[in-house]
Amino acid sequence: MFHSDFLPMLKNNLRLCQILKCVPFEFDSKTGRLIKAKSFGHILLFRVQCVLSVMYIAALFLNLCFGPLTTTAKFQGFTFFMVYFVASWMKFNYSLDMAGTQVIHTFLDFEKYILKDTPTFELSLGAKIMKLFIQVAEISGFSFVILQLILLQCVPCTAPFIFSMFPNCGEMADKTSWMLMLAVHIFETWMCLQMIFGCTVYIFYLLCAGIICILFYFRIIENKISTLQSDQDTKKCINLYRCIQILEKFFNAYPMNKVIPVMVFGIPTMEIISLFISINFYDKIAMPGFLLFPLLGLNTPLNNICVLTMASLVHNSSDKILGVLKKKIMGLTCHSGRKRSIINRELRACSVLKVKFGSNYIDRGTPLVIQNFCLNQTMSLTLVKANKMAG
């Protein structure tokens, strides 16, 4: 599943990442694995990007807090700040930690050694939707960068970018050489491009692809359960589930601390602000730069609906499989006495799998709760603005 469907997409993504030097690893065609970049210049430029990203985000934050910006400009600027903060949080890897790539290698090894004799299945509807979501999100990420450049060219004083940090921004824009302005805008576009594409590997090919692969492995177990006939078949099913259980531990070890908190807290914040701006400030932001906000407002709910729904299915499908397996074992006449007791103990040792964030996990209600929260907060901000204007 990962090797046949997601690895080719990951290779294509890494081609642009190698040009930008926004990830500290590269794909080795000989071993078929992700390895630490061999070029010293690659590693140096990546670390420079990490440091620049922190300094740039700190400057944007200080500008939002203390800069000469109106309330409208602060709301607008906070959207860009959240995009950069979320992307930089996931991309930052100054120590060149390869834990994320090791999780990807675990999926590749699992399919190579554990599932080597397993027949292939057609992709489920959820897997097809997730693949489409990844492709749409990658195109949207590049579109976001282009639209930002256009917005900066049309309105150089757009918050929270560099020129908006000066009180006399309008006069500066008129007096500054167009070549200098273009150079500053290209720098800011490059910062955006390397941060966004530097985090795509972790969101799309670690989290999203990992979730879909686990769900695909559950389908394999379901197929085996439907053909259970002997004690040997039962042991194979339980052993395969245990292997997936170990895989889940590896999978949760990295995303739990870095990716999932952003998906659960950072992206909903981006959705709230982008929807609020799209509804209330559509007449105050120049086109086509304004299209950034509806684009962001469309992609963030898609993330909540697609990614978190698929993540919740890990818990639901796991619980369902354990229940079906237990009923199937109870109905088999080949298990009796001590043999059945041993199998029941092995089955009880198999826990329900979950995609975790902190000490919590994503269940089937999480996407709806988050989306309901985002819509409620957007409407609350809109009503507050309307009341202030009426007053």
The pLDDT tens digits for 201-213 are 887 888 888 888 8
CA nearest to 75, candidates 390, 299, 388: 388
Reported as a single tens digit per residue, the pLDDT across 315-371 is 888 888 888 888 877 766 555 556 667 777 777 777 888 887 666 777 777 788 888
pLDDT value at residue 359 = 65
pLDDT value at residue 191 = 92
Q: Which residue has the higher pLDDT, 173 or 182?
A: 182
| Phi, psi (degrees; rounded to nearest 5) at 27 | -90, 125
CA nearest to 2, candidates 215, 213, 214: 213
Reported as a single tens digit per residue, the pLDDT across 258-287 is 777 777 778 888 888 888 888 888 777 767
The two structure tokens encoding residue 322: 């354990």
C-alpha to C-alpha distance for 37 and 193, rounded to whole angstroms: 20
pLDDT value at residue 212 = 86
Question: What count of other Cβ atoms lies within 10 Å of the Cβ of residue 120?
Answer: 10
> Whole domain around residue 289: which residue ranges?
1-390
The two structure tokens encoding residue 146: 């282009």
Largest CA distance in the chain: 90
pLDDT value at residue 166 = 83
Average pLDDT, the chain: 83
Pairing of strands 360-361, 356-357: antiparallel
Residues 346/390, Cβ–Cβ less than 8 Å: no
Q: Which residue has the higher pLDDT, 125 or 61?
A: 61
> How many domains is the chain built from?
1
Q: Which of 66-75, 232-241, 351-360, 369-378 has the lowest mean pLDDT?
A: 351-360
The whole-number average pLDDT for the span 74-103 is 86
Q: Which residue has the higher pLDDT, 103 or 48?
A: 48
